[in-house]
Amino acid sequence: MTALLEVIDLKKHFPIRGGFLGGTTAHVYAVDGVSFSIEKGETLSLVGESGCGKSTVGKAILRLFDLTGGQVVLDGKRIDDMQPATLRPMRRRMQVVFQDPFSSLNPRMRVKDILAEPIRNFGLATNSKDLDDRLARLMDKVQLPRDAINRWPHEFSGGQRQRIGIARALAADPDLIICDEAVSALDVSVKAQIVNLLQDLQKELGLALLFISHDLAIVEHMTHRVAVMYLGKIVEVAKKRDLFAAPKHPYTQALLSAVPVPEPGAARQRVILKGDVPSPINPPKGCRFHTRCPYAFDRCRTEEPPLRALAGGHMAACHLHDRPDSENPLAGEAGKAVLPA
Amino acid sequence: MSASSLPSTVHVPAIAAPLPDVLPPFKPRRGFIGYLRKNPIMAFGGALLLTMLCIAIFAPYLWTVDPTSLAPARRTREPSAMYWFGTDMLGRDVYSRVLYGARVSMLVGFSVAILSSIIGLTIGLTSGFVRWADAIVMRIMDGMMSIPPILLAIALMALTRGSVQNVIIAITIAEIPRVSRLVRGVVLSLREQPYVDAAVACGTRTPTIIWRHILPNTLAPITVQATYICASAMITEAILSFIGAGTPPIIPSWGNIMAEGRALWQVKPYIVFFPAVFLSMTVLAVNLLGDGLRDALDPRMAKRL
């Protein structure tokens, strides 16, 4: 089975302009060599802390800006170097739902016009009656009353606006929806509704989802596979169960241990990382995580570990896996158990 | 680590059922009148401006005489039942001159507001969207802004003949940088809005994005700015006319009525007083209206509308 979306060595560096003539003084290495793939109907979650480049990956795939390097292949076609005219029909196949339900809808357009925009752009409706039918079906799909279509965005609550955002993404009849923190701004009960809605739609329409999130509880609830990002790179990719049961990268381990447990007084061991995330303007040499990694050794400071396959389709970028299991604190199921203080 | 922090999955049928987050009750807008009632200051400003506008338009029918007709025998008369605002040193009726003077102020104020908004909008949109043009255009605008608008207008008037048309052009040029900067700033922030990204992802072409997503959202700040420009253009026009660099003396304008009355102001203060009061009231009216519009068009205040 070929992948619906394949991202190969994606790079996006933002220039920092300064000085009198606005020359480039440095770069922000927001995304620095990210590769993954998503199959039809699959959910891949991209997790990591703020500023690690998750959202940049999403926007780069959507070609909201040009890439610094790498390839994005959608259904066998490279889209990263396409001209705008050839890219436009490909845009139909991947849509986006943003985090902020308030700024993701134009306040001066009625819901009807917001939803009709992609349909008109891609010429999906044959006549005005067909358009009306499509709009009505979209409202049904996201479980909003049909007559709400003539209203303005400010008349809706956050959760309802997010439904409108999802309906707009569905309007183009896409194969892939990139959910950029799509539920992070919603309160818990609404969050659950939207997550369930996305799951139902995925089943019904066979959508692939790239679910960009920092909320591991939601990710565990709805994803098939997880990719963990740290400072512009993917450090680990695995099936959900494998990743949550036995993380193979020290960063993932720390990330999982930071998830709150809804059980007061539960015995838990936490990995507390020292220091802050280094700046993506000047990322550390070698393994990017070595400045905070409790297991770091000399090799980590000089040589960057590649992302490579371990057993069972699990992939991790860590030199520890070169060592024999007896010397590898992350071997086997051991990743779950936590390191010395 | 579990998903138990989520509420249990509620299966929702494919066709819409009543939702937990139902639509808020539809509140009919109270309309423009209701808004004005809540904002008496804005209503006052609007009414005052409307009055001034009517005065300007209907000046010939408001018991005026020819504002340029000279009557040396009846010069510098005090205000009376015959000459409501008195007469000036050439015997012209100050009441008629002040009313006709409103025409120049209104014409200059509104023309400058409209022209500089349109031109500033075009420049601002261009430099907000065309990266390479941005640096060039904005440095030119910075250069223009380093000269006080009044000096710039005087300099421009020095290059041409005094006429109302040239006054409008000169003040418009002096006001353009302010509007361009405002629009550029708004455009740059709107470009980063997720709904613009979503429109790009939806395959909308750039001209359509500007027309549909950017332009409508710049209109509110532009409208507010236009009222302030209108007020400042009226003052600039009066200053230019006062120092003799603006409206030619043959056309009565508040600025040159005051200029002519200046020599006599200690003995015949009414010649300066009446045009000055009209100018102040008009500028006040425009500014009050502008403040009201700013409150009304600010999205954070939208609920009050």
How sure is the predictor about B305, in pLDDT bands with cuts at 50, 70 and 90? Answer: very low
Contact at 8 Å (CB) between B41 and A174? no
Residue B8 has pLDDT above 50, yes or no: no
Q: Do B7 and A22 touch (CB under 8 A)?
A: no
**pLDDT confidence of residue A31:** 92
How sure is the predictor about A154, in pLDDT bands with cuts at 50, 70 and 90? Answer: confident
How sure is the predictor about B27, in pLDDT bands with cuts at 50, 70 and 90? Answer: low
Q: How far apart are CA B204 and CA A41, in angstroms?
A: 26
B264: phi then psi, degrees, rounded to nearest 5 = -105, 10
Of residues A12 and A258, the one with the higher pLDDT is A12
**pLDDT confidence of residue B264:** 87
**Among A8-12, A108-112, A216-220, B80-84, which stretch is predicted with the lowest mean pLDDT?**
B80-84
**Prediction pTM value:** 0.81
Per residue in A54-90, pLDDT (tens digit) is 999 999 999 998 899 999 999 989 998 889 889 999 9
**pLDDT confidence of residue B3:** 43
Instruction: Tell me, yes or no, if A132 comes closer than 8 A to chain B by beta carbon.
Output: no
Q: Give the closest residue to A226 by CA, choosing from A204, A200, A248, A195.
A: A248
**pLDDT confidence of residue A23:** 75
Q: What is the mean pLDDT of residues B80-104?
A: 88
Q: What is the mean pLDDT of residues A40-49?
A: 92
Buried b (16+ CB within 10 A) or exposed e, B150-168: bebbbebbeeeebebebbb
**Among A112-116, B20-24, B30-34, which stretch is predicted with the lowest mean pLDDT?**
B20-24
**pLDDT confidence of residue B5:** 45
Of residues B62 and B9, the one with the higher pLDDT is B62
**pLDDT confidence of residue A110:** 92
Work out the mean pLDDT of chain B and round it to a whole number: 84
**pLDDT confidence of residue A18:** 72
Which residues lie below 8 Å from residue A330, measured CB to CB, with a gap of 6+?
A247, A248, A249, A250, A253, A295, A316, A318, A320, A321
Give chain B positions within 8 Å (CB) of A145.
16, 23
**Could you write out the DSSP letters of every residue in B236-271?**
HHHHHHHTTSSS-TTS--HHHHHHHHHTTTTT-THH
Q: Do B21 and A62 touch (CB under 8 A)?
A: no
Residue B77 has pLDDT above 70, yes or no: yes
**pLDDT confidence of residue B221:** 87
How sure is the predictor about A21, in pLDDT bands with cuts at 50, 70 and 90? Answer: low
Q: How far apart are CA B162 and CA B245, in angstroms?
A: 6
Of residues B14 and B80, the one with the higher pLDDT is B80
CA angle A80, A81, A85 (to 5 degrees): 105
Give chain B positions within 8 Å (CB) of A118.
202-203
* Closest alpha carbon within chain A to B14: A141
Smallest Cβ–Cβ distance between A143 and the set B16, B197, B217 belongs to B16
Of residues A177 and B41, the one with the higher pLDDT is A177
How sure is the predictor about B12, in pLDDT bands with cuts at 50, 70 and 90? Answer: very low
Residue A331 has pLDDT above 80, yes or no: no
**pLDDT confidence of residue A267:** 66
DSSP H helical segments within B13-72, as ranges?
A: 31-38, 40-57
Instruction: Tell me, yes or no, if A99 comes closer than 8 A to chain B by beta carbon.
Output: yes
* Closest alpha carbon within chain B to A258: B1
- Maximum alpha-carbon separation in chain B: 101
Which chain B residues have any C-beta within 8 angstroms of a chain A C-beta? Answer: 1-7, 9-12, 14-17, 19-21, 23-24, 26, 135, 193-195, 197-204, 212-213, 216-217, 299, 302
Select the residue from B15, B21, B215 to test the A interface by mutation, using most A Cβ atoms within 10 A: B21
Residue A22 has pLDDT above 80, yes or no: no
**pLDDT confidence of residue B62:** 85
The tokens of A120 are what?
């008109």
Q: Do B195 and A190 touch (CB under 8 A)?
A: no
Q: Do A196 and B12 touch (CB under 8 A)?
A: yes
Of residues A303 and A270, the one with the higher pLDDT is A303
**pLDDT confidence of residue B31:** 66
Q: CA–CA distance from B226 to each of A67, B47, B109, B148, B176 (Å)?
A: 40, 18, 10, 18, 11
CB atoms within 10 A of CB B187: 21
3-state helix, strand, coil in chain A (%, to 5): 35, 20, 40
Give chain A positions within 8 Å (CB) of B299.
107
Q: What is the mean pLDDT of residues A181-187?
A: 88
Residue B298 has pLDDT above 70, yes or no: no
Give chain B positions within 8 Å (CB) of A62.
197, 200-201
Give chain B positions within 8 Å (CB) of A93.
none
Residue B47 has pLDDT above 90, yes or no: yes
**Among A118-132, A312-326, B32-46, B204-218, which stretch is predicted with the lowest mean pLDDT?**
B32-46
**pLDDT confidence of residue B220:** 86
**pLDDT confidence of residue B22:** 54
Residue A238 has pLDDT above 90, yes or no: yes
Q: How far apart are CA B259 and CA B166, in angstroms?
A: 19
Per residue in B247-287, pLDDT (tens digit) is 888 899 999 999 988 888 888 888 899 999 999 999 999 99
Domains and CATH numbers, chain B: 101-305 (1.10.3720.10)
How sure is the predictor about A115, in pLDDT bands with cuts at 50, 70 and 90? Answer: very high
Residue A19 has pLDDT above 80, yes or no: no
Q: How far apart are CA B7 and CA B29, in angstroms?
A: 37
Shortest Cα–Cα distance, B182 to chain A (Å): 20
**Among A134-143, A302-311, B4-13, B153-162, which stretch is predicted with the lowest mean pLDDT?**
B4-13
For residue A227, the surrounding DSSP H or E stretch is strand A225-230
**pLDDT confidence of residue B28:** 54
**pLDDT confidence of residue B268:** 87
Helices B254-262 and B94-129, interaxial angle, to 10°?
A: 130
**pLDDT confidence of residue B7:** 47
Give the percent of chain A with pLDDT over 70. 95
Q: Do B6 and A143 touch (CB under 8 A)?
A: no
As a residue count, chain A comes to: 341
Give chain B positions within 8 Å (CB) of A64.
197, 200-201
Work out the mean pLDDT of chain A and round it to a whole number: 88
**pLDDT confidence of residue B285:** 95
Amino acid at B71: A
Q: Left if phi > 0, otherwise alpha if psi is -120 to 50, otherwise beta: which for A287?
A: beta
Q: How far apart are CA B3 and CA A244, in angstroms?
A: 12
* Closest alpha carbon within chain B to A105: B195
Smallest Cβ–Cβ distance between B203 and the set A92, A98, A159 belongs to A92
Q: How far apart are CA A199 and CA A193, in angstroms?
A: 10
Q: What is the mean pLDDT of residues B170-183?
A: 92
Residue A341 has pLDDT above 60, yes or no: no
Residue with token string 């299991």? A325
Residue B210 has pLDDT above 80, yes or no: yes
